[in-house]
Amino acid sequence: MKLYDYILSPSCYKVRLMAALTGVKLDLQPVDFHPGLEHRGPELLALNPAGSIPILKDGDLILTESSAILVYLAAKAAAEWLAGDKPEEAARVQQWLSFSGRLTTSLGGARLHEMLLRPGDIDALQAQGISALRELEAGLVEQSLRGRRFVAADRPTVADIACFPYVALAPDGGVSLDPYPAIRLWSRALRSLDGFIEMPGIHRLHELKPEPLIETGEA
Ligand SMILES: N[C@@H](CCC(=O)N[C@@H](CS)C(=O)NCC(=O)O)C(=O)O
């Protein structure tokens, strides 16, 4: 399977991470995203008219949209990363896969603005990112009340992988993760999974300081 890839792209990293976690081997085809804008050139536009990466090629099959690619890899190699047969779980996985698109436009847009000087209303992008982070924090707190560490189920699913990279890289776009303890614990849980791989700016758990205990207010 060939992945059209850019090392600093969180969306491409989702695919690399999913492949690593599920034991799928990828043939990486580097794309000159910046400064070359190769993803907007004729060869890649022919594969993805939306002008974005990642793009996955498996034989004659061409897939775009990172969430669809995550589902494809999981369906091929490790179905436990997909929703099981419980209706709520199926809906929750879908909910957070859709939600991940908001992280891409808000936190991802802020990151592109700050790192690659892309034009955009940075205040609005950051505000949208913060609103999405608050929603994710609330979802994870709700899950933790049910004894769960992951967004959609009692185990990690494609939905966690879809949401994780843009959240972890939020500080690149000037958005702090300090106010979100449940998100930080979730991030730690993902970064400690067997097979986890890094990208620039997202490190393995062992390189980080211990998380301070959260005050419960109880005596
Ligand atoms: N909805 C797409 C979005 C992916 C996306 O935004 N990719 C970025 C790279 S991280 C991109 O190609 N952006 C096009 C551009 O900024 O020119 C997906 O999930 O695959």
What whole-number distance in Å separates Cα of residue 198 and Cα of residue 203? 5
pLDDT, position 58: 98
pLDDT digits (tens, 9 = 90+) for 98-122: 999 999 999 999 999 999 989 999 9
11 pocket-lining for ligand 1 (C-beta < 6 Å) = yes
Does residue 94 lie in a domain region? Answer: yes
64 shares its domain with 98: no
Same domain membership, residue 197 and residue 94: yes
Same domain, 162 and 72: no
Q: Does ligand 1 have an atom closer than 6 angstroms to the CB of 15?
A: no
Tell me the pLDDT tens digit for each residue of 78-87.
Answer: 999 999 999 9
Q: Which residue has the tokens 């205040």?
A: 123
For residue 219, is it within any domain? no
Q: What is the mean pLDDT of residues 21-40?
A: 97
% residues pLDDT > 70 (the chain): 95
User: For the segment 198-217, what is each residue's pLDDT rounded down to a tens digit?
Assistant: 999 999 887 556 666 766 65
Question: Does ligand 1 come within 6 angstroms of the Cβ of 38?
Answer: no
* Whole-angstrom distance, CA of residue 171 vs CA of residue 193: 22
**Which of the two residues, 95 and 208, has the higher pLDDT score?**
95
Same domain, 46 and 149: no
Same domain, 162 and 105: yes
Q: Is it the case that residue 218 has pLDDT exceeding 60?
A: no
Q: Are 116 and 188 part of one and the same domain?
A: yes
Out of 3, 4, 11, 16, give the residue to mutate to test ligand 1, the one with the largest number of ligand atoms within 8 Å of its CB.
11
- What's the mean pLDDT when you consider all of the chain? 95
Q: Of 80, 95, 120, which marks where a domain is finished?
A: 80
Domain-located, residue 141: yes
The answer to the question of residue 215 being in a domain is no
Quick one: residue 76, left, alpha or beta (phi over 0 = left, psi -120 to 50 = alpha)?
alpha
| C-alpha–C-alpha distance, residues 2 and 25, integer Å | 9
At residue 7 the predicted structure's pLDDT band, cuts being 50, 70 and 90, is very high
In a domain, 216, yes or no: no
* Helix (H/G/I), strand (E/B), else coil: 29: strand
pLDDT of 204 reads 87
Judgement on whether residues 200 and 147 belong to the same structural domain of the protein: yes
Residues 186 and 88 reside in one and the same domain: yes
Report how far ligand 1's centroid is from the alpha carbon of 219 (Å): 48
Q: What is the CATH number of the domain that holds 72?
A: 3.40.30.10
pLDDT tens column, 138-161: 999 999 999 999 999 999 999 999
Mark whether 94 and 181 lie in a shared domain.
yes
Same domain, yes or no: 67 and 29: yes
pLDDT at residue 205 in the model = 81
What's the domain range around 76?
Answer: 2-80
Of the residues 80, 113, 143, the one at which a domain ends? 80
Number of domains composing the chain: 2
- What would the pLDDT profile of 32-65 be if each residue is shown by its tens digit? 999 999 999 999 999 999 999 999 999 999 999 9
Residues 116 and 176 in one domain: yes
Helix, strand, coil % over all residues of the chain, rounded to 5: 55, 10, 35
